[in-house]
Amino acid sequence: MNFKYFLWNLSVGWYEHIPILYRWYEHSIKKEVLRHPVPQHVAIIQDGNRRYAKKLGQPAEQGHLRGADTTEKVLEWCKELGIRQLTLYAFSTENFKRPENEKKALFDLFKYFCRKARDDRKTHESRLRIRSVGDISLLPQDVKDEIALTEAVTAGYDRFYLNIAVAYGGRQEIIDGARKMAMDVKNGTLSPESITESVVDRYLYFGAETRSQVDLIIRTGGDERTSNFLPWQASGNECAIYISAPYWPEFRKIDFLRAIRAYQIRERDHRIKLAVSMLKVKRHNGGLKMDEFKRGLASSLKIPLDEVEAIIRHPIVQKELARAS
């Protein structure tokens, strides 16, 4: 059965096994992706390290080590495409239940990554800010020290952001934020009437310094679940979810580009449907003021007017526009 699956996979993606064709295909997808707006905040559930190691007959620690290589590559791919913020699900609160030797290997890997990132010339040239999101108090002291030092060294950077979700649980994040708000309400420094979504953001792990809303969540390893990852940041933001079959250590640039392309197609379809719906309402109510329509569409989608112009040029929108005029 495994051999049949291998043959089927080979027949479907045969061009990916020929280096020159693979590079051409990768270049083609990248060129296509760069013609359209890219997501500004991508979050990744890095799943499959242990299954990858098991497949190779190696201990889980080797899978995490190979996965760390993929992490560095993905960060560079984000910079290439102009994706300003990347959040990685590195270690959940559930992961504390794993064997001690595996946890130690992961914590050692975190410390190594922090030290390497601080010393890497590319971190400073790209003005990459590195932060942790999660209940850091649960981590060993030496890991907390490395995280604190890395955050301090990159605190002044604001071009790209790397958020490492460690000791993270989405439901716990909301509970911790609610407790902080309740305390401030009790102390009189926060009134219940002033609590809005932006206020809630300030009390969560991300804080108010960066854009917390997530545009795209990618999960590797094939499992179709979000594992308590960023429930507040993904909800109410039309966040797309893309499931990628390869394990995290096997995740390639072409897989990443496919995820971005899938997001762009979904986003384009959503924008066109909204524009058509707004035009139908205008037609029903009578009277279409183009400038007012453009501003309304830009406000609803939270996009600049030049992107609104691109939506209006789409044939489907043009057809509905002719009816509404």
Domain boundaries, the chain: 1-30, 36-251, 269-324
**How is residue 52 written in tokens?**
């990858």
Please check the confidence at residue 273 and state whether its pLDDT lies above 50.
Answer: yes
pLDDT at 163: 96
pLDDT at 111: 96
* Residue 268 annotated as lining a ligand binding site: no
Q: Report, as an integer, the average pLDDT of 171-199.
A: 94
Least Cα distance to 201 among 236, 226, 228, 157 occurs for: 236
Q: Report, as an integer, the average pLDDT of 87-109.
A: 94
pLDDT at 292: 87
* Residue 225 annotated as lining a ligand binding site: yes
Catalytic position from the list 2, 9, 69, 95? 95
Domain 36-251 has CATH 3.40.1180.10: yes
pLDDT at 301: 84
pLDDT band at 302 (very low <50, low <70, confident <90, very high): confident
Q: Would the CA dihedral through 239, 242, 248, 250 be positive or negative?
A: negative
Ranges 53-57, 105-109, 263-267, 290-294: which has the least confidence: 290-294
* Residue 96 annotated as lining a ligand binding site: yes
Please check the confidence at residue 63 and state whether its pLDDT lies above 90.
Answer: yes
pLDDT at 155: 95
Order across the sheet with 216-220: list the strands.
Answer: 128-133, 160-168, 85-92, 41-45, 216-220, 240-244
pLDDT at 23: 86
Of residues 143 and 13, which shows the higher confidence score? 143
d(CA 10, CA 12): 6
Side-chain half-sphere exposure of 80, counting CA atoms within 13 A: 15
pLDDT at 5: 47
Residue 36: enclosing H or E segment and its boundaries? none
Please check the confidence at residue 110 and state whether its pLDDT lies above 80.
Answer: yes
Please check the confidence at residue 2 and state whether its pLDDT lies above 60.
Answer: no
d(CA 91, CA 108): 13
Catalytic position from the list 47, 163, 201, 215? 47
* Residue 93 annotated as lining a ligand binding site: yes
| 145 catalytically annotated | no
Q: Are 212 and 233 in contact (CB under 8 A)?
A: yes
**Which residues on neighbouring strands pair with residue 161, listed in sequence order?**
85, 129
* Residue 92 annotated as lining a ligand binding site: yes
Ranges 12-16, 143-147, 259-263: which has the least confidence: 12-16
Helices (H) and strands (E) in the chain, counts: 14, 6
Of residues 140 and 302, which shows the higher confidence score? 140
**How is residue 56 written in tokens?**
């190779």
pLDDT band at 288 (very low <50, low <70, confident <90, very high): confident
At 222, is the secondary structure helix, strand, or coil? Answer: coil
Please check the confidence at residue 13 and state whether its pLDDT lies above 70.
Answer: no
**What are the two backbone dihedrals, phi and then psi, of residue 89, each rounded to the nearest 5 degrees?**
-85, 85
Which pairs with CB-CB distance under 8 Å and at least 24 residues apart come from 68-74?
A: 68/109, 68/112, 68/113, 69/249, 70/46, 70/248, 70/249, 70/250, 70/251, 71/46, 71/113, 73/253, 74/44, 74/251, 74/256
pLDDT at 25: 86
Burial 106-118 (b: 16+ CB within 10 A, else e): bbebbbebbeebb
Q: Report, as an integer, the average pLDDT of 267-284.
A: 88
Number of C-beta neighbours around residue 176 at 10 A: 16
pLDDT band at 11 (very low <50, low <70, confident <90, very high): very low
* Residue 98 annotated as lining a ligand binding site: yes
Residue 26: enclosing H or E segment and its boundaries? helix 19-33
Which pairs with CB-CB distance under 8 Å and at least 24 residues apart come from 193-197?
A: 197/236
Of residues 14 and 111, which shows the higher confidence score? 111
Kindly give, in sequence order, each residue whose CB lies less than 8 Å from that of residue 113, ignoring residues fewer than 6 positions away: 68, 71
| 47 catalytically annotated | yes
Q: Report, as an integer, the average pLDDT of 58-69.
A: 94
Ranges 61-65, 109-113, 209-213, 299-303: which has the least confidence: 209-213
Q: Report, as an integer, the average pLDDT of 129-138.
A: 95
Residue 140: enclosing H or E segment and its boundaries? none
Packing angle, helices 315-324 and 305-312, rounded to 10: 80
Across the chain, mean pLDDT equals: 90
Kindly give, in sequence order, each residue whose CB lies less than 8 Å from that of residue 273, ignoring residues fewer than 6 positions away: none
pLDDT at 16: 62
